[in-house]
């Protein structure tokens, strides 16, 4: 099997660290300093790809060499972007809005070669349907503190947020925070290109 290149992960997300480790990618973490606000007239897909690119470029600018991976995830309900909640009451409000409804999750990603400036960019999406939630379920989940660092105020993979989900259509790993198949294929293509140059 082709050895995937190591990366510098421009993210402080523990979920993204777990996903890279899952597919055997060696990585170091350098959290980016980037303004994550949405621009006027920017679609959610454009926003997550731009922010992923912005994060990767910010970290790549500090490195002499290496592949830098940036990513950004957002939740969209009725054309409104739901980012990370500002506080527990905001998290509860988001979860009540998501209750019993379908929403879309987008995760943009970007790989930037610090030495050459070459970039590969992509975006994954998934439609997620919540079952109807009771207020006590929402309050108990918010009290754990887990929703406070997550877009849309829930996590699908490692906490109570998993039991809120009735159905998912699309890429599960996009909802976790990184479209693994897309990123793997991009890294594999880079590895193939590098190996052909060495021949």
pLDDT tens digits, one per residue of 51-108: 999 999 999 999 999 999 999 999 999 999 998 899 999 999 999 999 999 999 999 9
By the 10 Å C-beta count (0-12 exposed, 13-18 middle, 19+ buried), 88 is classed as: middle
Range of the domain at 67: 7-198
CATH code (residue 68):
3.90.950.10
3-state helix, strand, coil in the chain (%, to 5): 40, 25, 35
Catalytic status, residue 72: yes
Does 104 fall in a domain? yes
pLDDT of residue 30: 96
For the cut 90, the answer to whether the pLDDT of residue 194 exceeds it is no
Q: What is the pLDDT of residue 97?
A: 97
| Residue 191 placed within a domain | yes
Looking at the domain assignment, is residue 1 inside a domain? no
pLDDT of residue 158: 66
How many CA atoms are closer than 13 Å to the CA of 76, on its beta-carbon side?
18
- Coil, strand or helix: which one is 8? strand
* Set 72, 113, 127, 135: catalytic member: 72
Residue 131 domain-assigned (yes or no) = yes
Establish if 2 belongs to a structural domain: no
* 195/47: higher pLDDT: 47
Long-range contacts of 27-31, Cβ-Cβ distance < 8 Å, separation of 24 or more: 27/69, 30/59, 30/62, 30/63, 30/68
193 in a structural domain? yes
Look at residue 175 and tell me if it is in a domain.
yes
Decide if 182 contacts 109 (C-beta within 8 A): yes
Rounded CA-CA distance 192/25 in Å is 15
Region of 66 please: left (phi>0), alpha (psi -120 to 50) or beta.
left
Kindly report, residue by residue over 144-183, the tens digit of the pLDDT.
Answer: 999 998 889 999 886 788 899 999 999 999 999 999 999 9
Give residue 3's pLDDT. Answer: 82
Output the pLDDT for position 34. 82
Query: pLDDT tens digits, residue range 99-142?
Result: 999 999 999 999 999 999 999 999 999 999 999 999 999 999 99
Query: What value does the mean pLDDT take over residues 34-51?
Result: 90
Task: Report the domain count for the chain.
Answer: 1
What would you measure as the largest C-alpha separation in the chain, in angstroms? Answer: 62
Number of other CB atoms surrounding residue 52 within 10 Å:
29
| Residue at 60 is within a domain | yes
pTM above 0.85, yes or no: yes
The pLDDT score that the predictor gives to residue 23 is 92
């Amino acid at each position: 099997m082709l050895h995937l290149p190591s990366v510098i992960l421009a993210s402080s997300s523990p979920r993204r660290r777990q996903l890279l480790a899952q597919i055997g990618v060696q990585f170091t973490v350098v959290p980016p300093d980037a303004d994550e606000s949405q621009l006027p007239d920017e679609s959610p897909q454009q926003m997550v790809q731009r922010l992923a690119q912005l994060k990767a470029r910010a970290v790549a600018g500090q490195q002499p060499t290496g592949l830098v991976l940036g990513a950004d995830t957002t939740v969209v309900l009725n054309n409104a972007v739901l980012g990370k909640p500002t506080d527990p009451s905001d998290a509860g409000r988001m979860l009540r809005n998501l209750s019993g409804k379908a929403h879309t999750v987008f995760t943009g990603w970007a790989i930037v070669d610090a030495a050459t400036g070459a970039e590969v960019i992509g975006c994954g999406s998934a439609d997620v349907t919540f079952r109807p939630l009771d207020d006590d379920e929402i309050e108990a989940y918010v009290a754990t503190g887990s929703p406070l660092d997550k877009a849309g105020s829930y996590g699908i993979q490692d906490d109570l947020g998993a039991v809120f989900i009735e159905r998912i259509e699309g890429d599960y790993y996009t909802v976790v925070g990184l479209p693994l198949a897309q990123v793997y294929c991009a890294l594999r293509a880079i590895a193939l290109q590098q190996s052909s140059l060495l021949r």
